[in-house]
Amino acid sequence: MAPSVAHDDVQVQPASPVSNKSRTIPEIKKSVQGLTQSASFPAPLTYSGSLDHYESFDVTSVIGREYPKVQLTEILKDDAKIRDLAITVSQRGVVFFRNQDIGIEDQKILGQKLGELTGKPATSKLHKHALSNSKRGIAVDENGKLDDEVSVISSEQNRKYYQGRFFGAKRVASEGWHADITFERVPSDYAILKIIKTPEDVGGDTLWASGYEAFDRLSPVWQRFAETLTATHHQPNFNKVAAEHDLELIDEERGAPENKGLDFTASHPVVRTNPVTGWKSLFGAGHQVHAGWIDNVTETESEVIKAYFNKLIAENHDLQVRFKWNTNDLAIWDNRSVFHTATNDYDGKRQGNRVVSLGEKPYYNPASKSRREALFGLA
């Protein structure tokens, strides 16, 4: 992970050294299951059908749904519909809405309700981004409001702080796949991004990829192996940028009591169970572990595993969906089960407001199913 490239945390950084003691798979598996089986896991939630009368379509067979005519302000006071919306987002990975009139305060209310109505801990609120916050002085509405609970996605800010990525950088675009803020001990469940300014030229699309389907692409042997692993997610760039530009970072209670300090490091299961669907998703992959590592393996093994998982996400276009933004379009996605990446193919200005809800501490439930198992009975 790394700071905002159109929406969040993607900046190429040399991998950190890995210092781990190797353990055998049975030892790791025993350790992981000893932790998980002693806990009680929430049951998957059931969609009630309250959104069925709204026009919608699936963008691909695997990921993405669009509601072309719904205004989110119409359902904001209907908890049953918001709960069904959250379940839909978790099942489809990302959901799109066109030309939304929702303001930033209502966007924040919606962001918090999506998690609350689907069972997130009471201590999990809206995330306060360590770097992209009110201290950067970018207003989140026409009245000049500054807000730590809104991450302003600004191409101008990105170009200022991360010039190497935006000016003639000769890099492979697929390096950017990530999920938001997984360096936090309590990371995100849902994120809502509304683009309020599109580039004057063209470009700036966002792509999402299904972590559910990435897990299902693994062979049974690799699935069992991945389920035994944890990975350390690390974000070194915030401190680097802060030092270079003399910036202050938020270091206390970034939306949850556990999210504090400036190490920006957290260890999570490589395969994560989404509590809303009960489905397994590949989680410890993509740019969020680029500067991190797979725990308890050698450095070489860690790099091989990370490269393979990233390959699954980046090179399978049939588990991806691409969205072309218009002004005031909005997307909601589940950071537990999808990766996303921005497309930096434009010269104009691009800006959006992103609200990031915090969820539960990531866990793996050995009794959970993959998406294909749950929907189609396929092992």
| Structural domain spans, the chain | 25-376
Q: pTM (2 decimals)? A: 0.89
Digit-coded pLDDT (tens) for 308-356: 999 999 999 999 999 999 999 999 999 999 999 999 888 888 889 999 9
The mean pLDDT of the chain is: 89
Which structure tokens are listed for 296? Answer: 């308890």
Strand extents, DSSP E, 183-279: 188-197, 206-210, 230-234, 265-269, 271-273
Give me the pLDDT at residue 31, please.
38
Q: How confident is the model at residue 33 (pLDDT cuts 50, 70, 90)?
A: very low
Give me the pLDDT at residue 35, please.
39
State which amino acid sits at residue 58. Answer: D
Closest CA to 155 of 378, 333, 325: 325
Query: Around 214, how many Cα atoms within 13 Å sit in the side-chain half-sphere?
Result: 31
Is residue 115 predicted with pLDDT exceeding 80?
Answer: yes
Phi/psi for 312 (5° steps) reads -60, -45
Is residue 159 predicted with pLDDT exceeding 80?
Answer: no
Digit-coded pLDDT (tens) for 83-102: 999 999 999 999 999 999 99
DSSP bridge partners of 341: 207
Q: How confident is the model at residue 367 (pLDDT cuts 50, 70, 90)?
A: very high
Write down how long the chain is.
379
Q: How confident is the model at residue 19 (pLDDT cuts 50, 70, 90)?
A: very low
Is residue 32 predicted with pLDDT exceeding 70?
Answer: no
25-376 CATH fold: Double-stranded beta-helix (3.60.130)
Is residue 27 predicted with pLDDT exceeding 50?
Answer: no
